Amino acid sequence: MRLLLSVALLTSALLVQPLAAAPDDDVLRWVDPMIGTGPEGHTFPGASAPFGMVQLSPDTDATCQIRDCYAHAAGYSYHDSTIQGFSHTHFSGAGHSDLGDLLVMPAIGPASAVKLDPGSADRPGSGYRQRFSHGTEVASAGYYAVTLADSGVRAELTAGTRVGIHRYAFPKGTDAHLVIDLRSSLYDYPGKILWSGLHVHEDGTITGFRETRGWAPGRKLFFAMRFSAPLKDHAFIDRDEHVPYKGFRAPQALPGRSADGVAEKLGKALEARLDFGSLDGPLEVRVALSGVDEQGAIANLDAEGADFDTVRRRTEGQWREALARLSMDAPPKMRTSLYTALYHSLLAPSVWSDTDGRYRGPDDQVHIARDFTFRSTFSLWDTFRAEHPLLTLVQPERTTSDIVNSLVASREHSPWGILPVWQFAGRETWTMIGYHAAPVIADAYLKGLGGFDAARALDAMVASADYAPYGGLAEYIQRGYVPIDKEPEAASKTVEYAYDDWTIARMAQAMGRKDQAARFAKRAGYWRNSFDAKSGWLRARKSDGTFRTPFDPTAINYGSDYTEGNAWQYSWFVPQDQAGLFRMLGGDGKVIARLDAMFDFDNSKLDYSHAENISGLIGQYIHGNEPSHHVAYLYAHAGAPWRTQERLKQIVDSQYKPTPDGLSGNDDLGQMSAWLVFTGLGFYPVTPGSNQYVIGRPFVRHAAITLPRGKTFTIETDNFSDANPYVGKVELNGRPLDRAWISDAEIRGGGTLRFVMQARPDKAWGSGRGLRPFSMSAH
């Protein structure tokens, strides 16, 4: 066996030559998709195009039961030693999961010996699962490769927007097979696969579908597959192990059945063995997806499918163009972390419409996107904070307008008539809280980014904010707060609704809708109704007006007063009115002391092991989850920017590194990564919708954002070194900048932001009241 494997590895190396390594000046060499694949980041290492519908990646466990799957939310965990197969859909950094659709795995030997069960990770050889070594893995933007140790097959993956291309080099003289598994699914449980189908067309194309009742119930996915070698034989089986959902009516025929093909198998737990015999060269497998039907998948394959190297070159070119919108120079480790963060920020929201514009919406009906590309995968509770503001700078044209148009279209097709909350594959999951599509839309509009109907967009925002059945909104509208005895997580919901309302007011005011602006500006102040001025904490309030007791500001329990956090984190969430909050807390000095107490808190007597997503702790600051992400910048709001500079270095040094465990928490569809990109540049959008960024400190020597109409915004850092962690002086276009913020218009206008760093803090710079960042009460 050892001789066979060594020969196989040599054969693979001879047959499959990688494309030329990226030269030193190629931005792709700084992207490492392995970052975050460790225990907390939940990223995947496989191949995807920018915002691609297909995320073709290895799954080290795609059959774990839902309660035990947290480490495998992206399918792949760096600490595993076996690969179950390569599937075509994944989330990047989500704290929950689904997907893992259409799993493919190569196999060798007699057809009768090919196992159609994945087997167990602790019993190699018990199924089609195979061992691997990280030493054989290669991962880069748009490409992944690994050698499967038990068969000697060298597997390579690449992807286009709607296609995934596999290339398998089998040991010479062996029979080549593929296992297709439609049973496996990330976050699996009995009955999750409602129905699936496979059929073979006369030209050798295989098409199929499956429907699942997972995180997004009733999700449908269709696919088409073609091969570079003729299919010699096949076997389709139905392992009817899963119990169908009660009341589900099985389809009578395969959706999208083609006149040139014959339905081969219809069932609930389908698998296939595809036989290719002995091959003279690598086998390429070309796969396209569609959310509409099998004809859509075939059309996507016709439009985008090509040979492996062509698709890889095309996708790498797309990545070069996308990543080059932001050029950065920093020490090698930081440069790798920053470019990989930018890469992760450009994976979602993913394309969901077919090449002809058709897509399946929240109503499970097929619609057509005209003049835009429909996108889905909206983790809005996470991404409204920094991910979407980053896209307005590095993808300000088509991507931003596509996002807004997709959000508005989703609302118009929604059975509930509201904007997405947490949507993927066009389906609503109702995960997390708020109506955070509102700040995404308002931020784009207020920055002057067009390509969408602003009136329709504002109507959608208002409809969402007034949808009484959602999350205690009826009580919030009536009382001015969400009562905890009527609705869980009431304290968090009150302040998040108030912020969303403020963004609606801002957009309505800019559009001249004065009545709506006044109504939502009033609601933006409702945060005060859940703030206990006596104790200085945001607290859950009951219907009778009293605050709920007992109260522990360190307690974190799901479904309690707060959403994935506690009073320490959520008492700072008033991004629209930090000045009002600071006055309630007793002024700048007490605010700074409270911030210091948060970062310096001794957690040694606390146990948060019961709470997923609570990671990356620095005292009670939790960088591994989003409610803390703006907090270090609040020192600047309190007149102490130098303390922001100190805390940013503490966070960056402890929470990010260019290794598989280099993210302290879920990347959450790019939010953790976008935080690092902004912070690396030296500023951060504490309040999306304000058109301001709070200045922190840079972690780059030089950076340049390429903007539309030939403009460039450049960041220069003098005296850049670890010995100089503080900002001594800031210049904008050659003139001193004394304020601790910069406007979006100043960035989009082009120019140069120059930092002069020094060893000791300058406690005067940016500390004056007129120099502080935005606050509703101060403007």
Length of the chain: 779
* pLDDT tens digits, one per residue of 656-665: 999 999 999 9
d(Cα 369, Cα 386) in Å, to the nearest integer? Answer: 27
Give the number of other CB atoms < 10 A from CB of residue 716. Answer: 17
The answer, yes or no, to whether residue 9 has pLDDT greater than 50, is no
Q: At 520, is the secondary structure helix, strand, or coil? A: helix
3-state secondary structure (DSSP) of residue 10: helix
In this structure, which long-range contacts are made by residues 114-121, counting pairs with CB atoms below 8 Å and at least 24 apart in sequence?
114/177, 114/179, 114/273, 115/179, 116/179, 116/181, 116/237, 116/239, 116/271, 116/273, 117/239, 118/62, 118/63, 118/84, 118/85, 118/181, 118/184, 121/60, 121/61, 121/80, 121/81, 121/82, 121/84
pLDDT beyond 60 at 529: yes
As a whole number of angstroms, the distance between CA 520 and CA 516 comes to 6
**Residue whose C-alpha is closest to residue 535's, from 552, 556, 559, 523:** 552
Read off the pLDDT of each residue in 19-25 and give the average, rounded to a whole number.
Answer: 58
Q: What is residue 244's predicted lDDT score, i.e. its pLDDT?
A: 42
Q: What is the pLDDT of residues 750-778, one digit of tens each?
A: 999 999 999 999 999 999 888 888 777 76
325-373, pLDDT tens digit by residue? 999 999 999 999 999 999 999 999 999 999 999 999 999 999 999 999 9
| Cβ-proximal residues to 27 (8 Å cutoff; 6+ apart), any chain | 319, 320, 323, 324, 327, 339
Reply yes or no on whether the pLDDT at 12 is more than 80: no
Q: Please name the residue that has the structure tokens 């497998």.
A: 285
Task: For 114-125, write each residue's pLDDT tens digit.
Answer: 998 888 877 877
- pLDDT, residue 245, reads 40
Query: What pLDDT is stored for residue 756 in this prediction?
Result: 98
